Amino acid sequence: MAQEIGSVALLVREYDEAISFFVNKLGFMLVEDTDLGGGKRWVLIAPPGSSGTRLVLARAEGLNQEVAIGRQSGGPVFLFLHTNNFWRDYQSMISKGIEFLEKPREEPYGRVVVWKDLYGNKWDLLELAQSG
């Protein structure tokens, strides 16, 4: 049996502001933006060159979801953006005003730095160490 996680829902305030952030500041691809009626949309984004998991930008509905925007993980890093060129992507993100919570560091698993998206969710930018 083969399985994979196809997408992860990310709560957002508004579709268009989230699309603008991820596409314009991070260079993500807008994979799909389908009007579902009643103000709902099916919005899929993915990092450039990605063929794996995508993010579904899900507009929060109701107070329970609204208070979870930016805190879906309860505090720790929520999502991990893998890269094949850490310094290129780090410098690009700095130039576009991305907020970093620390200085880049070397770990046994790779080079990493924690940053925040427009809602305050914590992400890792991570270039995995070469094995063996």
Collapsing DSSP to helix, strand or coil, 131 comes out as coil
Output the pTM of the full model. 0.92
> What pLDDT, in 10s, does the model give residues 75-132?
999 999 999 999 999 999 999 999 999 999 999 999 999 999 999 999 999 999 986 5
Arithmetic mean of pLDDT, 61-84:
95
Answer yes or no: is pLDDT of 15 > 90. Answer: yes
Q: From CA 8, how far away is CA 40, in angstroms rounded?
A: 17
What is the band of 23 on the pLDDT scale with cuts at 50, 70, 90? very high
What percent of the chain is modeled with pLDDT above 90? 92
Interior angle at CA 19, CA 41 and CA 48, nearest 5: 115
Q: From CA 53, how far away is CA 8, in angstroms rounded?
A: 7
pLDDT score at 131: 67
What is the band of 1 on the pLDDT scale with cuts at 50, 70, 90? confident
Answer yes or no: is pLDDT of 50 > 70. Answer: yes
Radius of gyration of the chain (CA): 15
Answer yes or no: is pLDDT of 25 > 90. Answer: yes
Question: For the chain, which domains are there?
Answer: 1-69 (3.10.180.10), 72-132 (3.10.180.10)
Query: What six digits make up the tokens of 74?
Result: 């309860």
pLDDT score at 130: 85
How far the first Cα of the chain sits from its last, in Å, is 28
